[in-house]
Amino acid sequence: MMKLENVVPWGRSFDEYVKMFDLTSDELKLNILDCGGGPSSFNAEMMQLGCNISGNITSCDPIYQFTVEEIQNRIQQTYSKIIAAVKETPENFVWQDITSPDELGEVRMVAMKKFLADLSQGISQKRYVKSELPNLPFTNGKFDLALCSHLLFTYSNILSADFHVDSIVEMRRVASEVRVFPLVTQFSGEISPHLEAVINQLTARGLQVEIRKVDYEFQKGGNQMLWVR
């Protein structure tokens, strides 16, 4: 069972998702799964744009088993530690759209507050589902597109190559197309040591796999996604 004290909540915004995953306006109308969505505001902002975006969005993450208050408290406990770690290694980041660690904190907190405000209603509407890779509680082909941000490859130090393969295959089972971002490990800016083996195993299973450059780079070297279908 997941323990909340082991979780470091860190949410990204709708605008970042669009850039990270190179999402077009037409793709935003698709049936999308945000896998390992955590406290990102992508789901909440998609719903706010409902009059403009007619698609369906579902986020899944084991963190959704906890209450709004519990997650909010955990964010408060870890926020300053994350910012302090960024300030210790500013050379690992591209300070362009976000110009400083303090601004980074503000941007992330805005996204997480939008998530927290939406969570209770989203759970009742089944837009937030408690589940985790590599086993998803969805039927085959339920989604058009599955996204996975800052989980796979990011935590290559604790997640095995087999876990990566099983997770991507599972996302492909429930979605026609899978996109994973980024391909570098946390803080290092180095390509995940699992990437080559994962691509080889996915290709051997008959999947089409590409590495695609995207118009987003905050972590240095983190401007590519894995595209699988």
142 falls within a domain: yes
| Residue numbers of the domain that contains 183 | 4-220
Q: What is the mean pLDDT of residues 12-29?
A: 96
pLDDT bucket at 93, cuts 50 / 70 / 90: very high
**SS3 at position 123:** helix
For residues 153 and 182, is the Cβ–Cβ distance under 8 A? yes
Q: Which backbone phi and psi does 151 adopt, to 5 degrees?
A: -130, -75
Q: How many residues does the structure list for the chain? A: 229
Specify the pLDDT at position 187: 79
Unique residue bearing structure tokens 């323990």: 3
Instruction: Confirm whether 228 is domain-assigned.
Output: no
pLDDT, position 55: 59
On whether residue 227 sits in a domain, the answer given is no
Decide if 207 is inside a domain: yes
Answer whether residue 51 shows pLDDT above 60: no
In this prediction, residue 140 carries a pLDDT of 98
CB–CB of 218/98 below 8 Å?
A: yes
> Span 135-140, mean pLDDT?
97
Is 88 a domain residue? yes
For residues 186 and 130, the model is more confident at: 130
Asked if the structure places residue 226 within a domain, the reply is no
Confidence of residue 30 (pLDDT cuts 50, 70, 90): very high
pLDDT at 5: 81
Separation CA 36–CA 21 (nearest Å)? 14
- Structural domain total, the chain: 1
State which amino acid sits at residue 147: L
Q: What are the CA-CA distances from residue 108 to residues 21, 127, 223, 224 (Å)?
A: 18, 21, 19, 21
Q: Which residues pair with 135 in a beta bridge?
A: 132
- Check residue 166 and give its pLDDT: 98
Identify whether 229 is part of a domain: no
Please report whether residue 225 resides in a domain: no
User: What pLDDT is recorded for position 14?
Assistant: 96
Contact 156, 30 (CB under 8 A): no
Residue in this structure with the two tokens 């969505």, named with its chain if needed? 37
Residue 170's CB: how many other CB atoms inside 10 A?
A: 18
Q: What is the pTM of this model?
A: 0.95
Is the distance from CB of 32 to CB of 57 less than 8 angstroms? yes
Token pair 């509407």 is found at: 125
> For residue 53, what pLDDT is reported?
53
220, 94 contact by CB (below 8 A): yes
What CATH code is carried by the domain that includes residue 178? 3.40.50
